[in-house]
Amino acid sequence: MEMEDEVIPDKQALDDGAVEQQVGLADAFIQEIASLLDQNYTDRIQELCRDLPAPDAAELIVKLDSARRHKLIEVLEDDLHPETFSYFDHDLLNDLLEHMSGKNIAAIVSELDSDDAIGLINGLDEERQGNILRHLNRNLRAVVEEGLTFPEASAGRMMQREFVAIPQFWTVGKTVDYLRAAATTLPEKFYNIFIVDPMHRFIGTVTLSNVLCAQRSVKVDTLVGEEYVTIPVTMDQEQVAFLFRRKDLLSAPVVDENEQLIGVITVDDIVDVIDKEAEKDLLNLSGVSDTDIHRPIIATANSRFFWLAINLVTAIAAAWVISLFEATIAKITVLAVLMPIVASMGGNAGTQSLAVAVRALATKDLSSSNSPRVIAKEAIVGLINGILFAVIMGAVVFLWFHNLQLGMIIGAAMIMNLIAAGFSGAMIPIVMSRMGHDPAQSAVVFLTTVTDIVGFFSFLGLASWLML
DSSP 81-94: -GGGGGGS-HHHHH
pLDDT the model gives residue 6:
44
For residue 362, tell me if it sits in a domain: yes
User: Is residue 2 scored above 60 in pLDDT?
Assistant: no
pLDDT the model gives residue 286:
62
User: Is residue 66 scored above 50 in pLDDT?
Assistant: yes
Residue 425 CB neighbours (<10 A)? 31
Asked if residue 36 and residue 128 are part of one domain, the reply reads yes
Q: Which of these three, 254, 284, 314, is where a domain ends? A: 284
User: Is residue 8 scored above 50 in pLDDT?
Assistant: no
How many degrees, rounded to 5, is the angle at CA 231 between CA 202 and CA 182?
Answer: 50
User: Is residue 17 scored above 60 in pLDDT?
Assistant: no
Q: Which domain range does residue 397 map to?
A: 297-467
CATH of the domain at 180: 3.10.580.10
Asked if residue 262 and residue 310 are part of one domain, the reply reads no
Q: The whole model's pTM is what?
A: 0.66
Q: Which of these three, 284, 310, 338, is where a domain ends? A: 284
User: Is residue 291 scored above 70 in pLDDT?
Assistant: no
Mean pLDDT of the chain: 85
For residue 125, tell me if it sits in a domain: yes
> Contact 263/160 with Cβ under 8 angstroms?
yes
The Cα–Cα gap between 442 and 420 comes to 18
Least confident range of 81-90, 264-273, 322-331: 81-90
Calculate mean pLDDT across residues 147-175: 91
Q: Estimate the crossing angle of helix 371-401 against helix 404-434, to 10 degrees.
A: 160
> Contact 123/91 with Cβ under 8 angstroms?
no
For residue 292, tell me if it sits in a domain: no
The Cα–Cα gap between 334 and 330 comes to 9
Tally of structural domains, the chain:
3
CATH of the domain at 321: 1.10.357.20
pLDDT the model gives residue 380:
96
pLDDT tens-digit map of 273-289: 887 777 676 666 666 65
pLDDT tens-digit map of 369-409: 899 999 999 999 999 999 999 999 999 999 999 999 999 99
User: Is residue 109 scored above 90 in pLDDT?
Assistant: no
User: Is residue 423 scored above 60 in pLDDT?
Assistant: yes
b/e map of 322-355 (b: 16 or more CB within 10 Å)?
beebeebbeebeebeebbebbbebbbebbbbbbb
Least confident range of 326-335, 404-413, 436-445: 436-445
CATH of the domain at 119: 1.25.60.10
